[in-house]
Amino acid sequence: MSEAANTEAFWVGTIVDWLVKNASLRKERIDLTRKFTQEPYNLSAVRVLTMMDELVALHNAGRGIRLVLSQNWRLAHRNDTVGDFIVAFLRLVLPDTGRAATDKDASSAGPMSESRQGRPHNHRLEALRANPGGDWKPVDLEIIASQYAMKFRKITGTHEVFLHPSVPHCVTIPLKARIRPPHVRAFLAMIDGMDEAAR
C-alpha cells in the first residue's frame, strides 16, 4: 500500500469511498462543489473531523511517515467543499505533486503544462485520452475541472455544464445516463483549448 499511498488517485478514491459509505450515497451522487455538512451529505462537523483523523491514520500506516494535522488546519478545512478539501489534503500528503497541480500563485504567463498539470493530474488526463469509452463518472471530470479552475454546475438535475473564461464554449455531460466518448472528447478539447489560450 505504500506505493498506492503516494498517488493522487489513491487519496481521491479513498475520500470519495469514505463519502459513499458514511453518507450512504452512490458514487454518481458525489458532488465536489458541496460542503460535507450540506446536501447530499449532511454530515456533522464532528464527523468531518473524525474523517480527517481516519485519513491521517491511513496515511501514517501506509507510508510510515507521521503526519499530524494542526487544530488550525482542521478547523480551517472542516467547512470546505469536498473538492477544496481534496486539493488541500493532497497538498499535505503529496507536496511535490500537489503544489504543481493546485498552486494558485503559479505564473499565468508560464506554460499550463507546468503551472496547472501536476504529474498525477497528467495521469488522469492520459487515462481519459487513452480510454474515452471507459466507465467515467461526473466526479472523475469534476476532479480535473477543479484543478483547472473550471466552473461546473448541475442543471435541472440531469446534466452538468463545465465552463472556463478562456474557452468560448461550454461542455455538457449527462448525470444519469452513461458518459459517452463524445462527451469525454469534448471535455478534453476544452482543456486543450485552455492550454492553447495560455500559450
Annotated domain spans of the chain: 4-93, 112-198
Q: By C-alpha distance, which of 141, 134, 138 is closest to 190? A: 141
Query: Rounded distance, CA 54 to CA 133, Å?
Result: 34
Q: 31-40, 58-67, 83-92: which has the minimum mean pLDDT?
A: 58-67
CA 142 distance to own-chain centroid: 6
State the pLDDT at residue 120.
Answer: 45
The 10 Å CB-count burial string (b at 16+, else e) for 174-194 is ebeeebeeebbebbbebbeeb
Give the cell for residue 170: 461550454
Q: Tens of pLDDT along 88-132? A: 888 888 776 543 333 333 333 233 333 344 444 567 788 888 998
Domain 4-93 = CATH 1.10.3470: no
Query: Rounded distance, CA 160 to CA 170, Å?
Result: 10
Q: 24-38, 61-75, 179-193: which has the minimum mean pLDDT?
A: 61-75
First to last CA, the chain: 39
The model carries a pTM of 0.53
Residues of the chain with pLDDT > 70, as a percent, come to 82
